[in-house]
Structures are given as C-alpha cells and as structure tokens.
Amino acid sequence: MDTSAIAHAVEPPPTAPAGAPVAPLALAPVRRPRWLAGYVAALVGADAVAMGAATLVAKVSWLGLDSAPLHIRSITVPYTALALATMPLWLVLLALTGAYDVGPTGATRGHWKLVIRAGAQLLAVVAVAYYVLHLALLGRGMLVALIPLAVAFTLAGRTVVGACLAYLRRRGRACRPALVIGRRRGAEALVTQLQDRPSSGLSAVEALILDPPGDNDTVLQVTAALSRTRAEVLIVTGGLARGQLRDLAWALEGTGVELLVTPAPAEMEGLRAEIRPIAGLPLLYLDR
C-alpha cells in the first residue's frame, strides 16, 4: 500500500482570536477493544491450565498415580486439592510481576522474564509453606519439580496464545487504528513500517503531516483528525513545538486514546513513559 494514500495534511480549523485560549475538540471516549480483553483472558486461562498440568505431572512423576491422601498438620486432603491452591497462587504471582500488562497493542515481548521472576517468587512461597505447613510428607522432589514445570508449561501456553493472535493479525484482525503525526519523512517511514509488520497490532489509518513544525493549532488539528478517523492510538514521530506533547497528553486525558511517541528527551520532561518495542521501533508508551 502506498503511504501517500493515507498521508494527509489536515486543514487547520478556524484560528481563534489572538490571545484567546485554544481548547481541544471534544472526543468520544474510546473503549478498550474486546479482542485485547479477550487476549488477556486467554493468557490467564493458559496460565491456569499450565499450573494445573505442572501440578499433575509433578505429582505423578514423584508419587505415581495412586497415593495416600496428603496430610497437612492434622488435616487430610486429596492431592487434587493441591491444584486448587497452586493455580490461583500462580495467577496472583504472575499478575504481581506484570505478566498481564500487555499495553495498548497486546505486546508480550520480554514477558518470559516476568514468568521466570514469578517462578522465583513461587519458590520462595513454597519454601515458606514447606516448613509452616509441614509439607515434608509431600516430598521435596515434587515441590522442586513443580516450579520449572510451571514456568515451562506457562511459556509454552503463552507461545500458543501469541501464535493465535499473530494469525488473527495476518488476517487483518486484532489491530488498533492509529493516527500518525509528524514531519513528512518520519511519519511516512513509520506508516510504511507498520504496513510491513501487521504483527505490531497497529494499523495506520492516516498520517497528519506537520511541515512546517506544529503551530498553536496543532492540538486542534490532531483532535479533529482523531474524531474524524476514530483512531484509538496516536503516534507522534516529531515535528511538535516545545510543550505541545504535554498539551496533547492533557487533551487526550480520559478519552481512552493511547499515546505512543518517538520524541527527543527534552519533550519527555514531566511525563511518565514506558518503552514498548512495537514493529521494531522503540516507541514510548505514555502512561497518563
């Protein structure tokens, strides 16, 4: 697809009188896409199944198919109840490490580190429970095997879920419409890169060219373009005057529109940002 087909220099709205404050246009709230919520739910389900399978495999490999009930202090419980304890515990540990934070596009790159970190935390929890609950009868071998199995099965399950998401994106689904703004060279280069990488989860619907660099009406132009295109993500590649990035962040507050930028360090002053590699670009995700 030719980038010129979506590159568009938006005509500025009527200019306010000199000295009058410039107010951004009202934007309809953007809801979190259903596919993104479904993707997180799929990750949770896969992680729960992974821990259940890890518990079963560890139990069978160490104690066999038939074994006496598990004794915890003065309480006798079946081994199947162990999975009911390990599964929610595993999900909580993964959530605490940020393994379900998929950002605005469902990016999970680097999440294997978070899964391993959750495995280390599980080891600490198991070590404490071993002595507090007197789990010596359970067998150290089972407890030791449980952790690497949980990590391995979880990573395998997440790989399958990620492959399903990639398949949907190759078919043009599970993507968020994005408005790209910046100088012509940078904006068109980013549009081309997004078109070449459907796995990014972003689909450029328009490019707002800021040549010359943005003036006092830039926020109005951007909000007008967002309203017209109904884009869910705004990507800034540069071309803004000093302080306009902050103005844009404030204008988008509460709208649900996600903001990704590739700015100069000076433009980031006073803004919270998180680096999320998307489509091969180190875009900064502004957490407003």
Domain ranges, ordered by start, for the chain: 3-27+175-286, 35-169
Is residue 96's pLDDT more than 60?
A: yes
Q: What is the pLDDT of residues 186-217, one digit of tens each?
A: 899 899 989 888 888 999 999 999 876 656 67
- Structure tokens that stand for 2 in this block: 């030719």
Q: Residue 266's closest CA among 242, 247, 239?
A: 242
Is residue 252's pLDDT more than 60?
A: yes
Task: Report residue 176's pLDDT band, with 50, 70 and 90 as the boundaries.
Answer: very high
E-assigned strand segments in the chain: 7-8, 70-72, 75-77, 176-182, 202-209, 233-236, 258-261, 273-278, 281-286
> What CATH number labels 3-27+175-286?
3.40.50
Query: What number is the average pLDDT over the span 141-161?
Result: 90
Query: What number is the average pLDDT over the span 168-173?
Result: 91
Please provide the distance, in angstroms rounded to a whole number, between the alpha carbons at the two ends of the chain.
33
DSSP letter (8 states) at residue 114? H
pTM: 0.81
Is residue 238's pLDDT more than 70?
A: yes
